[in-house]
């Protein structure tokens, strides 16, 4: 493999590229946090942790997820509000309530809600 390609991380020839975990969810999936009472729609996926160290360090140490797993950006909701959440794959489970998510940003990114997931608007697909 040509490791001098501009889109690949620079490594020494003998250093293997880091493994990337498989994403269990996809954009448009409705998921629920496994420990906290909120759910949401996935609108972006990072193959590994890509937030700030301050954000990560603010999580109690006994609850901190591993950084070497996919992290998901969610349009989230709970009983009180709507917000954006950043959640590790290990803390998400499929939401089987078959209820749509009520978030004000949904219509800007997604169209229909079908079979428990949202369809990404054509202009946001690539």
Cα-flanking dihedrals φ and ψ of residue 107, to 5°? -65, -20
- Give the E-state strand segments of 24-102 in sequence order: 30-33, 39-46, 71-77, 82-88, 92-94
Label residue 108 by pLDDT band (50, 70, 90): very high
Q: Give a yes or no: residue 10 inside a domain.
A: no
Which whole number is the average pLDDT over 4-14?
52
Number of separate domains in the chain:
1
Q: Give a yes or no: residue 17 inside a domain.
A: no
User: 94 pLDDT exceeds 60?
Assistant: yes
Q: Give a yes or no: residue 22 inside a domain.
A: no
Range of the domain at 94: 30-124
Q: How many Å apart are CA 51 and CA 112, to the nearest integer?
A: 30
User: 13 pLDDT exceeds 80?
Assistant: no
In the beta sheet, which residues pair with residue 50? none
Q: Give a yes or no: residue 90 inside a domain.
A: yes
Q: Give a yes or no: residue 91 inside a domain.
A: yes
User: 82 pLDDT exceeds 90?
Assistant: yes
Q: Give a yes or no: residue 103 inside a domain.
A: yes
């Amino acid at each position: 493999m040509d490791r001098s390609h501009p889109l690949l991380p620079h490594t020494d020839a003998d250093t293997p590229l880091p493994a990337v975990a498989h994403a269990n969810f996809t954009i448009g999936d409705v998921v629920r946090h496994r420990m906290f009472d909120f759910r949401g729609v996935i609108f972006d996926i990072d193959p590994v942790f890509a937030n700030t160290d301050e954000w990560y360090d603010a999580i109690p140490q006994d609850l901190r997820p591993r950084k070497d797993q996919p992290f998901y950006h969610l349009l989230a909701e709970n009983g009180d509000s709507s917000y954006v959440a950043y959640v590790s794959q290990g803390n998400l489970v499929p939401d089987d309530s078959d209820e749509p998510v009520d978030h004000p940003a949904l219509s800007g990114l997604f169209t229909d809600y079908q079979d428990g997931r949202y369809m990404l608007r054509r202009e946001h697909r690539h």
